[in-house]
Amino acid sequence: MKRVSKAVAAGIAAAMMCTAMVSAAAQEHLNFGCYMYAASFDPAAYQNAAWQGMRLGVTEALFRFNDDMTVSGCLCDTYEVSEDHKTWTLHIRDGVKFSNGDDCNAQAVADSLQRLYNVCAREEYSSTPSTYIDMASITADAEANTVTLVTNVAYADLTATLCFPFYTIIDVEGDLDDESHDYTESVIGTGPYVVDSFDVTTKNAELVRNENYWKGEVPYASVSATFIEDDTTKALAIQSGDIDLTENVTTASDLATLEADDTYYVSKTSSMRTGFAYLNFAGVLGNDDLRRAVCMAVDGQTLCDVTVGGMYTYGYAVLPSSLVYDYDSLVYAYGYDVEGAKKLLDDAGIVDTDGDGIRELNGENITLRYITYVNRCLSDFAEAIQVSLAEIGINVEITNTDSDTEWNLMQAGAYDLCDSNWTTVGTGDPTAFLLNWYGDGGANLYDGENAEATNYCNYVSEEYDELYEAFTASTDVEERNRLVAQMEQVLLDDCAVLVHGYYNSAFISNATKVTGAEISTIDYYWLSSDIKPVE
């Protein structure tokens, strides 16, 4: 038996130590491939920016949704509400610090919220926090470590609304008007990770561990959050080892391949999201017969089950059938019926007079402008709907863009159909979501000149408006639920929305490297301290 010299043994030991250090370093870093929705982290800039900070584990809110959509305290641990439901006193959890070491106390929380409202008052900002909380005042009591929110209207449950990413708490250092701060490339929050660098062009972010995290040790020293737009590219990246974790691979064949391989863990859940297309009543789809025929030409069941391979559960109402709004009582008179759609158009005189295969309205060929983007199967729906409408003589031109550009086109009304995928109960109930079809988008419901209209589809219904106003005025849960079902029925009767279905969310992780990667019911929460390296 050969002896190993001390020098050789030392070399082997050093090599083994080096290998162990490299392995440990690899375990300390997470590569996360995801769709990055915004070129900013400023929660006041627009909704996608607010979501981005929370999803990447940089920011947190006063409260947090559980998977059953109940609410738990986060930065707020206890609260009291007045009898009229207009004064909410929130105790801020003691001992919480921002990632820079500053105290996240009552004054800091009040400053963060006040800054949100101050900044969103400017014309150049499109965010509308007043449509979620019509705020009268925000004050801090340093001694009690409480923040008191006084609202202009009564709210049944403000804690659920305060889960919404708009209300993430960031360290504004007393600067309530952004005179010396720009939060585009980074914000200071209380979450497990800190933005080390962010490329606003590529939307790639480098994150590092928050050494001051109030919940304890953060598992990864660093995270690379890499923007990947295409779903197949996400699947290939995790199979090649370029990434360890990704969200929402929505190509059915790719997801099936990953689910069949024990190397990967796929966490799936029925989300609170509805995929749908806005129908712009200010254009040709303001014609009732044309709009009804468009809805009747689309086989939603097949689109959900076959076209997108079960990534959506089919339903025709704007709110997921799994929610508490009595879906089974709803009646949809304009379900899939191609021949019925053709007859409806023929009877209305919307016919093809020149034999080019396209029907005409008011002497012009009908060409619908359909804007969509490549995420959560929306572009797949658009292409399938284009084919379906061609069958009844309706031409469709698709513009496939990114989510920010589509949002701007939607606000400008530059569309006939506009794809979207909304978290429908993002504030615990559908108040904000149903505002999409309220007459003026809510400007008259909320106090102040900054309450911007959000009805971008130009839908007008006195019946819907009256129901919505009764809904927002009520604090009785059962009454509110009944009113929601009635509003849904009005939208169905008017063919006000072309619903695709209800999205099923997923997280995919390399099971040999990552543990604890569970997708949340409401997808505000992606990176968390629960996601850890396999030991």
Following DSSP, what letter does each residue of 14-75 receive, concatenated? HHHHHHHHHHHHHHTEEEEEE----S---TTT-HHHHHHHHHTTS---SEEE-TTS-EEESS
- With b for 16 or more beta-carbon neighbours within 10 A and e for fewer, the 415-424 pattern comes to bbbbbbbbbb
- The residue type of 405 is T
Would you say 258 and 238 are in contact if contact means Cβ atoms under 8 Å apart? Answer: yes
What is the band of 46 on the pLDDT scale with cuts at 50, 70, 90? confident
| The predicted structure's pLDDT at residue 447 | 35
| The predicted structure's pLDDT at residue 324 | 87
Domains contained in the chain, CATH given: 47-188 (3.90.76.10), 271-504 (3.10.105.10)
Would you say 483 and 470 are in contact if contact means Cβ atoms under 8 Å apart? Answer: yes
Containing 208, the helix (H) or strand (E) segment is strand 204-209
| The predicted structure's pLDDT at residue 32 | 98
pLDDT above 60 for 399: yes
| The predicted structure's pLDDT at residue 440 | 63
Q: Which of 69, 77, 74 is nearest to 54 (CA)?
A: 74
pLDDT above 90 for 456: no
More confidently predicted of 174 and 107: 107
Pseudo-torsion of CA 433, 439, 442, 447, nearest 10°? Answer: -160
Pseudo-torsion of CA 385, 387, 389, 394, nearest 10°? Answer: 130
| The predicted structure's pLDDT at residue 404 | 80
What is the band of 48 on the pLDDT scale with cuts at 50, 70, 90? confident
- In whole angstroms, give the CA distance from residue 222 to residue 212: 15
pLDDT above 80 for 477: yes
pLDDT above 50 for 23: no
Lowest average pLDDT, out of 9-23, 109-123, 245-259, goes to: 9-23
| The predicted structure's pLDDT at residue 330 | 97
DSSP string, 216-280: S--S-SEEEEEE---HHHHHHHHHHTS-SEEE----HHHHHHHHT-TTEEEEEEEEEEEEEEEE-
| The predicted structure's pLDDT at residue 455 | 84
Instruction: Please work out, in degrees rounded to the nearest 5, the angle formed at the alpha carbon of residue 256 by the alpha carbons of 250 and 260.
Output: 145
Lowest average pLDDT, out of 191-195, 279-283, 519-523, goes to: 519-523
Containing 369, the helix (H) or strand (E) segment is strand 367-373
C-alpha 326 chain-centroid distance: 24
Token couple for 380 = 């797949």
- Strands across the sheet with 135-141, in order? 76-81, 87-92, 146-151, 135-141
| The predicted structure's pLDDT at residue 109 | 98
More confidently predicted of 203 and 130: 203
Mean pLDDT of 319-331: 92
Would you say 498 and 417 are in contact if contact means Cβ atoms under 8 Å apart? Answer: yes
Percentage of the chain modeled with pLDDT above 90: 72
Which pLDDT tens digit goes with each residue over 410-422?
988 999 999 999 8
| The predicted structure's pLDDT at residue 441 | 53
Instruction: Please work out, in degrees rounded to the nearest 5, the angle formed at the alpha carbon of residue 182 by the alpha carbons of 180 and 187.
Output: 115
Neighbour count for residue 216 (Cβ, 10 Å): 7
Mean pLDDT of 257-285: 94
Mean pLDDT across the chain: 90
> Phi and psi dihedrals of 167, rounded to 5?
-100, 20
**8-state DSSP, 532:** E
Would you say 461 and 490 are in contact if contact means Cβ atoms under 8 Å apart? Answer: yes
